Amino acid sequence: MQRLYVGGLSHTVTQKDLKDRFGKFGEVKDVELRTRRDDEGVPYKTFSYININISDADLKKCMTVLNKSKWKGGTLQIETAKESFLHRLTAERQEAAEQRLQQPAAEDKRQKMLNSLSKAGVENFTMKAAVPGTEIPGHKDWVVSKFGRVLPVLQLRCQKGSRARTLKYDPSKYSHNIRKLDRSTTEDEPTPISQLTWELEGGDDDISKKRRGEFPPFEPSRPKKSRTDVLNSHNTMGKSRSKQTVESVDQTEAGQFTNGYEQPASHRLTQRRGAVFDNDIDSDEEIRRMVAAQSTSHAALRQEVDDDNLEVVGLDYLVKSGRSRPQQKGPDDEEENDYDSADTDELLASRKPPPLPPQERLTLSTAEQPSRNGTDKKRKTKKKSKTGEEEDDSADDEDHLTSRKPSSTQHTEDSSKQSKSKKMAAPPVLKPPVQESSSDSDDGDDEDEEEDEEEEEESVDSSSDSDYEAMFSNVTRLEISLADLQRLAEVSQQTTDPSTPGASSEQDTPRRPAKKGTTPEEILASLMDEDSSEDEPKKKKKKKRKAAVSAPLPAFRGMGALNEGSEGEEEEDEQGSKVKKQKLESEAPQLNQRAKHMETEKKTSESSEDEEEEEEEEEEDRVATKVLKVVPTKAAVNTKKAETSSSSSSGDEEEEEEEEEEESSKVTHTVLTAKVAASSSSSSSAEEDEDELISDRVAVKAAPPPAPDSESSTSSSQEEKEKQAPPRAPLGAKEEEERQRKANMRRLAAVQQRQKEAEEHKKLIQGALAKLDAPTAGAGKHIVFGSDDDDDEDDQDKQQTTSEVTASKKALFEDSQSEDETTVKDNDTVKEKLMELQSRFGRDERFRMDSRFLEEDEDKDEESEKKRSVTEEDESLEDERKKNLSILQSVLGSSQQTCSSKAAAKGKTFRDVSALHYDPSREEHAAFETKTDKTKESKSARRKKREEAQKLPEVSKEIYYDVSGDLKAVFGRTKEDNAEEEQKANWDQDEEEEEETKDEQPTLLSSLLSADPSAEKEESSGFKFSFFGDDTETENKETEEYKVESIQAPKVSWQQDPRFHDSSSEEDEEEQEENEEQSNAVAMTTQGSQVLLSFLSPGGAEGAVGGEEERAQTGVPQETQGCQEEAEVLPEELRIMGCLRVSVWTDSAS
Amino acid sequence: MRPLTDEETKTMFEKLSKYIGENIKLLVDRPDGTYCFRLQNDRVYYMSEKILKLATNISRDKLVSVGTCFGKFTKTGKFRLHITALDFLAPYAKFKVWVKPGAEQSFLYGNHVLKSGLGRITENTMQYQGVVVYSMADVPLGFGVAAKTTQECRRVDPMSIVVFHQADVGEFIRNEDTLT
C-alpha cells in the first residue's frame, strides 16, 4: 500500500483518468484530487494523492515512466507521500485497543498500591491529622502535602544547556491546588474517524460561495467620482498647470455657468478661470459640473475667509508700543480686554471721555466741583433766561438764592464756594456793555476770543466736553461785553497809561464788581462769568503749590484794577442812557460802598492810611506765610507784594498809582483795599473770617466778596450780601450816582496828589538804589515776568534776563513805590526783594548754572580725554565698523553707499524709543510740537486754493462751448441769417447788462488796461480757442474804442485778454467771471450784434460812465430797457445753470 | 573676547538680514555712539564702545556676558539667534506676525504658531522669511520663520503651522541658566 503524490496535473484531469493511468502499475484504491484556486476562482494548481497497492519494483518502474512526463498539458511529478492521517489514526487506535487488551497487570498494580496506602492510613489519598511533609510509611515517594493530601514526590527532569538533571518536586512545599482528573471520562470511546472530517455547509451568501471557491463573474470596480474628488483634481490641476492662454469664449461660458455667484475677490476669479480652463474639457456638461463644484468650493473658501479674521498688513504698518495699547484697538478689542485686565481703567477712560471716571472725579480738587455745579446751574438758568427773558426777575433771583444758600452758609470754610458766589455776584457791570456791544466795533473781540479760549482750555481739564461746549456757547456774548469794558476802561483812562495790559486782564473785570443780578440778563452775565472764572480755584491751588506766584495771574488782575478805577466813569457814561437804570440801581450799592471807601480814605488822609497800611501788612504777612512761605517780615511782605502780583503793595492809597501802572496789573491791591475796609469796619470776628479768606484771596480774585462785607460789617458771607443787595437796589439811583460822582472826583484828586507823592518817592528810591551795587539788585517786576520765560528758555536767555533784571530795577521800584514807605523801608524792601528773587530764582538759575558749568567741564574733560586715548581705539573701531558695513553690503547685495557715522547721524537715526523724551531745547524735537502759526499763515494760502478751485469750473464751461458751437454749427447754420436777426433784440439786453456790470469797474479796468496791457497772467495763457477764428481779434482791433467789448474775449477759452487779468485782486476776478459768462454769450453773436454794440456803447471806452447814462446817451429804446430786467435775471440763471443754459437759451433765442 | 572674523560677520549678518534686512546698518552705524559685535564663548555680543572698554578689565574666562547677546555660533558654524536680540530686532523687523491672545501662551511655551492663532500678518511675507512675532497689543514676543506665505496663510486650514517657532521671550524663564 503506497500513497503517491502526483503533482503538475492539468486542471481537466479527473479521478478516472488517474485511476486508468496508474492502474497499469498496481491496484488504485483511492484517488484524492485537489485543485488550488486563487481568490478569483482561477485554478492554478492541481494535484492528487493516490493510494495504490504497488510493489517496489512497480513503484520504481512507475516513477521512471511517469515522473516528469507530459500528460495533458502538465508535467507530472510523482513522489511517495506520507500515509494519510486518517489512516494513521485508525492504525493507532487499533494498536491502542490491542495494547489495552494486553494490560491487565497495570490494573492490578494500581489496586495494590491503593491497598498498601490504605494500610498506611491513607484514605482516598488523604491522611487526616498529618503534618505536611511526613512521608507515608511504606511508600518512599509519597508524602503528605497540604490539607492532608497524599501526593507523590515528582522527579522532574529538566534539560538545561547540554546536561540534564533531575529536579525533585515536593508537593508538600508547593501544591495548594490540585485538580483531580476523572479517569472514567478519559476512557470513553473516541469519535469514529469517519466523523473527524466534515465539510463546510454552504448557503447562497457570498462568503460561503467564496469559501467553496465559487466567485461571481468579474466586474472591474468603478472608482466613485465623488464631488470632493473632482474638486481635488481641479485644484491640483489648476495649481500644477502653468497658466494657459484663456480663451475668451471659455470665459464667457464660465460667466454663464457661475449661476450668479459673486466672486469675493478678483484674484479668486482669475484662479477659478485658471482652474476651469486649464483642463482640456470641452463638453458643456463637464464644464457645468466643474463650475458647480468650483462654486461650492469657492463658497466654502469664502466662508472660511470670512470666518477667520486674519489680518494682513502692509510693510509700513506702524507698530505701537505696548504701552499705547488701549488706544490701538483692533478687531479683538474684547478679547484683549478679557485677557488683560490691567488696563481696564485706561480703557474706561479712553472710551468714555466725557464722563470722568470716578477715580478722577475723586482726585479732582474740591474747589473744582463747585465750579462744575455752578456751570450746571448756569445751564439751567441760562435755559430759563433763553426761554423767556421777560420772566419775573424775582423768580430767578429766588432760584439763585435758594440754590446758593446751602453753599454759602459754609462759605468761610469753603473757599471755592465763596469764589462761586463771587462769580454769581459779578453780573451787573457786565450787562450794560452787552447792550452797547451790538453797535460796537469788534476790534478787541478777536483778542478776547483767544483769551477766552485759552482760559477755557485750561478749565477743560476739570470740566467735561459738554461743559466746555456750554461755556463756549456763551463766549461770544462774553467777548463783546469784555470788549466794551475794555473800551470803556480805555476811555476813562485816557490821561493815564493808554497801553493797558491787554485783553488778558479783561477777563477779570466782570468779576470785580460784586453784585447780585436782578434782571435775567444780569443773571446770564453772572453765569457767563462763572464760565470764565471756573478755573480760578485751580489757579489758586497752583499758587499754593508753587511758592513763587506766577506772573501771568497778576497780569490778569491788572485790568480788573483798572476797570475798578474806571468804574465810576463807566457809570457816568452809562448814566446817559436811562434804560440801564436797573443795572445802575443794582450797582449802586457797590458804588456807594466804594464811594464811602474813597471818602473814608480821603478823610483819613495819609495818617490814617498809615494805620491802614499796618493792618494791611498784617494781613499780608499772613498771606505771605500761607502762600509764599517766605519769612513773614514786613520787608518780606513788601517784596512779596512786588513780586507776586507785581502790584505795588501800597494799599488803598495807591489806587491811583495802580491805575497809572496798569502794566503791572495789580488786582491784589483791590483785594487789599477791600480787606482793609472790612477789617477796619468789621468786628474781630469778621477779621477772622477774612483771615481765612485771605489764603483764598491770594490769587487776587477774592476782591469782590470782602467789599460787600465791609459794607455789611456784620457778616462777611456772600449770601448775606446777596440778600442785602435787592433791598439796596431800590435806593435812589440818581442820588447814589451823584454821590459816586462826587466820590470819584475826590478820588481823582487824591489820585493826583498821590501821584506826585509817588514820584517823589520814586526819586528817593532811585537815589537809594543808585548806591546799592548793581549785581545784588536782582529784583524787579520784569524779572518776575521774565522768570517764567526763563524757566522755559535756555541758559543764555537767563543771562539776558539777569541783565534785564538789573536794567529794569528802576522801573520795578517805580511801580512798587508806596507813599508811606520811607526810603529806608524801600531799601529794606529792595534787599528783601533781592533775597526773594534770589531765593526764587536760585533754584532754577543755580541749578542751570551748575549744570551748564558742569556740562562744560565735562565736555572739556571728555574732549581732552578723547583726544588723547580715543584716537587709536576709535580708529580700530571705525575700521571695524567700516568692515562690517562692507560685509553687510555684500550680504545684502544692494548697493548702499557706506555712510560714515556722521552721515548716518544725519540720515536715518537710531531712536531708542524708550529713551525718547521731549526736549524743547532740541531742534529736532520741534517736530513733536504742534505748530499753530502755520495754520494761521496758511489761511491766505487756503483761501487762494479755494478760489482757484472755484475757478476750475470755468474751464469746463468753456470746453462746453465747443459743443454748443458745434451744435450751433449743426443746427443753426441753415437759418443763420434769420437767427442772427432775431437774436439781435435778445443780445442787446445782454450787451447792456455787460455794460452795466462793466461800468461798475470801469475805472479799474481802464486804468489798468491803459497802464500795462502786457501784464498777463500765466495761468490763462495756455489755451486759446476762438470760435470765430480770428474775427474776434480783428474785431477788437477794429473797435478799439469799445474797451468794454473786450469782454467778448473770455478769459481762458477764447483768448487772453490782458485787461481782465490785470486786476490783481481776487474780487475783481470774480466780477470778471460774471462778465465773462455774459460775454461768452455775447461773443457767440458778435458778428450779429457788432453793429449794435458799436452804437450802443460808445461811452464804454471811457469806462466810468454808468449803464443808465449810456443807455440814455445811446438812446436805447424803452423796450430793451424793459427787457434788460429780464436779462438781469438771466445772467444769474446762467451762472447757476452753467453753460448748458446759455447754449439752450441762445438756441431758443435763435 | 575678540571681534568677529569676516566669515562670522557675514554669517551673522545673513541671519540678521532675514529679520531686519538692510536695517542692520542702523545697528552697525549708530549715531549715538560706537557699537560693535564681539565674540565670546562662541556667542556674539552687541555692545557699545564704553562697555567694551569696561569689559577689558575682566578676564575672558570669568566673563559671562557683556552687552547684549545676539546669538551664538553653533559647532557647525551656523549662527543662531537668541531671544535677547529681540529688543534690537523688533523695532526694525520688516515682516511681522501678530498672534491672537489665545495663542500667545502657546507660542511663549515654545510652540509654533498655528493658523488659528494668527491674528495679523504682514503682506507679501515670503515662505521661510524671518518674522518677528507680536502680540495683538504689539508687544514683541519672539521671532520665527514664516512657514507659509501670506497668501497661503489665508487658505490653509486652522491647524496648520504658519510660523515656525525660533525664540520667544518665554525663554527668559525657561532657559534662564543658559541665556546670557
Question: Each residue of A244-254: pLDDT tens digit?
Answer: 444 444 444 44
**What is the residue-averaged pLDDT of chain A?**
56
Is B141 within 8 Å of B167 (Cβ atoms)? no
Say yes or no to pLDDT of B93 above 60. yes
- List CB contacts (< 8 A) between B32 and chain A: 909-910, 912
Dihedral angle, C-alpha A572, A575, A580, A583, nearest 10 °: 40
H or E stretch covering A904: helix A901-906
Let me know whether B102 and B68 are in one domain.
no
Does any domain span residue B107?
A: yes
Q: Which of A309, A311, A891 sits opposite B10 (nearest CB)?
A: A891
Mean pLDDT of all residues in A335-351: 44
Higher-confidence residue of B153 and A860: namely B153
- List CB contacts (< 8 A) between A338 and chain B: 101
- List CB contacts (< 8 A) between B14 and chain A: 891
Question: Each residue of A215-238: pLDDT tens digit?
Answer: 766 655 555 544 444 444 444 444
Does any domain span residue B180?
A: no
> What cell was used for A851?
549744570
H helices, E strands: number in chain B: 7, 11
Let me know whether B17 and B48 are in one domain.
yes
CA distance linking residue A987 with residue A209, whole number of Å: 112
Let me know whether B61 and B106 are in one domain.
no
Let me know whether B104 and B126 are in one domain.
yes
Q: With an 8 Å Cβ cutoff, is B114 touching chain A?
A: no
pLDDT band at A123, cuts 50/70/90?
A: confident
Place of cell 482750555: A457
Closest CA to A852 of A796, A899, A929: A796
Number of domains in chain B: 2
Say yes or no to pLDDT of B116 above 70. yes
Cβ within 8 Å, pair A888-B98:
no
DSSP letters along A1068-1137, please? HHHHHHHHHHHHHHHHHTHHHHHHHHHHH-SGGGT--S-HHHHHHHHT--HHHHHHHHHHHHHHHHHHHH
Say yes or no to pLDDT of A973 above 70. no
pLDDT at B40: 87
Alpha helices in A410-444 (DSSP H): 415-425, 431-437
Cβ within 8 Å, pair B101-A336:
yes
Longest dimension (CA), chain A: 179
Q: Is A87 helix (H, G, I), strand (E, B) or coil?
A: helix
pLDDT at A150: 81
- List CB contacts (< 8 A) between B27 and chain A: 910
Is A995 within 8 Å of A1100 (Cβ atoms)? yes
Let me know whether B79 and B14 are in one domain.
yes
Cβ within 8 Å, pair B121-A310:
yes
Let me know whether B43 and B107 are in one domain.
no
H or E stretch covering A45: strand A43-53
CA distance linking residue A1104 with residue A45, whole number of Å: 132
Say yes or no to pLDDT of B148 above 60. yes
Mean pLDDT of all residues in A467-477: 50
Let me know whether B136 and B75 are in one domain.
no
> What cell was used for A631?
519769612
Higher-confidence residue of B92 and A252: namely B92
Does any domain span residue B116?
A: yes
Number of residues written out for chain B: 180
Say yes or no to pLDDT of A403 above 70. no
Domain boundary among the residues B25, B58, B88 is at B88
pLDDT at A843: 57
Say yes or no to pLDDT of A662 above 60. no
Q: Is A757 helix (H, G, I), strand (E, B) or coil?
A: helix
Q: Is A81 helix (H, G, I), strand (E, B) or coil?
A: coil
Domain boundary among the residues B88, B110, B126 is at B88
Say yes or no to pLDDT of A709 above 70. no
Q: Is A1073 helix (H, G, I), strand (E, B) or coil?
A: helix
Cβ within 8 Å, pair B53-A913:
no
Q: Is B158 helix (H, G, I), strand (E, B) or coil?
A: coil
CB atoms within 10 A of CB A110: 11
CA dist A371 to A266, A280, A420, A695, A702, Å?
60, 83, 6, 18, 15
Let me know whether B64 and B119 are in one domain.
no
For chain B, the distance separating the N- and C-terminal CA atoms, rounded to the nearest angstrom, is 15
CA dist A769 to A148, A775, A781, Å?
138, 11, 15
Does any domain span residue B76?
A: yes
Q: With an 8 Å Cβ cutoff, is B103 touching chain A?
A: no
CA distance A1053 to chain B (A): 49
Displacement of CA A1031 from its chain's centroid (Å): 62
pLDDT band at A555, cuts 50/70/90?
A: very low
Name, of A138-152, A843-857, A1050-1064, the range with top average pLDDT.
A138-152
What value of ipTM does the predicted structure carry? 0.71
* Phi and psi angles of residue A180, each rounded to the nearest 5 degrees, phi first: -95, 120
Let me know whether B6 and B84 are in one domain.
yes
pLDDT at B164: 92
Let me know whether B59 and B137 are in one domain.
no
For an interface test with B, give the residue of A884, A900, A906, A908 to mutate (most B CBs within 10 A): A884
Q: Are strands B96-99 and B130-135 parallel, antiparallel or unpaired?
A: parallel
Q: Is A70 helix (H, G, I), strand (E, B) or coil?
A: strand
Does any domain span residue B124?
A: yes
Mean pLDDT of all residues in A265-272: 43
Say yes or no to pLDDT of A75 above 60. yes
CA dist A296 to A214, A235, A259, A303, B153, Å?
45, 13, 11, 10, 21
pLDDT band at A114, cuts 50/70/90?
A: confident
Which residues partner with A36 through β-bridges?
A45
Does any domain span residue B167?
A: yes
Say yes or no to pLDDT of A1071 above 60. no
- List CB contacts (< 8 A) between A915 and chain B: none
CA distance B155 to chain A (A): 7
Mean pLDDT of all residues in A655-671: 45
CATH assignment of the domain containing B149: 2.30.130.10
CATH assignment of the domain containing B63: 3.10.450.220
pLDDT at A651: 43
Let me know whether B24 and B84 are in one domain.
yes
Question: Each residue of A828-883: pLDDT tens digit?
Answer: 666 666 666 666 555 555 554 444 554 444 455 555 555 556 567 777 778 888 88
Does any domain span residue B140?
A: yes
Cβ within 8 Å, pair A888-B28:
yes
CA distance linking residue A820 with residue A234, whole number of Å: 107
Phi-psi sector, A294: left (phi>0), alpha (psi -120 to 50), beta: alpha
pLDDT at A696: 45
Cβ within 8 Å, pair B98-A311:
yes
Does any domain span residue B70?
A: yes
Let me know whether B14 and B74 are in one domain.
yes
Closest CA to A999 of A885, A1100, A908, A1146: A1100
Question: Each residue of A1009-1020: pLDDT tens digit?
Answer: 444 444 444 444
Percentage of residues in chain A having pLDDT higher than 90: 0
- List CB contacts (< 8 A) between B126 and chain A: none
Chain A residue with the nearest C-alpha to that of B140: A322
Question: Each residue of A1131-1146: pLDDT tens digit?
Answer: 555 455 544 444 445 4
- List CB contacts (< 8 A) between B124 and chain A: 315
Question: Each residue of A614-646: pLDDT tens digit?
Answer: 555 555 444 444 444 444 444 444 444 444 444
Cβ within 8 Å, pair B154-A312:
yes
Say yes or no to pLDDT of A70 above 80. yes
pLDDT at A338: 42
pLDDT at A925: 74
Domain boundary among the residues B50, B73, B88 is at B88
For chain A, the distance separating the N- and C-terminal CA atoms, rounded to the nearest angstrom, is 140
Is A493 within 8 Å of A368 (Cβ atoms)? no
H or E stretch covering A674: helix A668-681
- List CB contacts (< 8 A) between B158 and chain A: 308
Its sign, for the CA torsion B173, B174, B178, B179, is: negative
CA distance A337 to chain B (A): 10
Give residue B144's domain range.
95-175
CA distance linking residue A939 with residue A1123, whole number of Å: 43
Question: Which residues 6+ apart lie within 8 Å of A965 measured at CB?
Answer: A1027, A1084
Percentage of residues in chain A having pLDDT higher than 70: 23
